[in-house]
Structure 1
Amino acid sequence: MTSERKQREEGNQFLPKFDTTGLITAIAQDSRSGAILMVAFMDAEALARTRETGLAHFHSRSRGRLWMKGETSGHVLRVEAILVDCDQDALVLQVEPAGPACHTGAANCFYRRLEGEELTRID
């Protein structure tokens, strides 16, 4: 194991491992219920803005820019804690949502279950 890998996996220094496109996976989890609300991506700027403001910011791949969750709807995600996985290439944002997390108006983005070849609503 290289010293960089050892430091990343066992050390106490925050060394986020962005992918080749400069992104890291970020999972938003309701801090009270434990429900997974959404999965998005952060670049270094989104991570920095999230840490500075306490509000979840992401990199929108479709818009090609930084966006704050709830910037138009008001349904912001207040970040209470950031958990970092073992090799620092994924984050869990434990959040307090101010309304539905999904752009469809559903409480979270995981409102359907795959049953055979069909999707069934579960919310």
Structure 2
Amino acid sequence: MIELLATRYAYVTFILLISIGLYMVIASPNLVKKVIGVNLFQTGIFLFFVAAAYVEGGTTPVVPDDPAGPALAVVSPLPHVIVLTAIVVGIALTAVGLALIIRIYTEYGTLREDVLREVRTND
């Protein structure tokens, strides 16, 4: 079991990032901490995609000079492209979320979810 954990440390890190991010989203009443938790969750997913796409001894998917040469393991660039796109989308969503949090703070003076619910029910 320890040998498996030592060789698959990217997957252990993936599970830790997802667990910590999910815990932050569920347990924290602070909106900024929730956004940080979502970002940790996203980072765990990105790590999973990149770790799953890793091919031991893989080469770039370029047409070789000699097509009759030895067959080599080829790394697919698709997961990396998807992760890059998801990073850009995640940054944009984080910026929008933080802008909304700033607006909520200027309107209500708090970032705690329970206080916001109480204020909204009184309005």
| Structure showing greater Rg | 2
- Structure 1 or 2: more strand by fraction: 1
Q: What TM-score results when the alignment is normalised by the length of structure 2? A: 0.27
TM-score normalised over the length of structure 1: 0.27
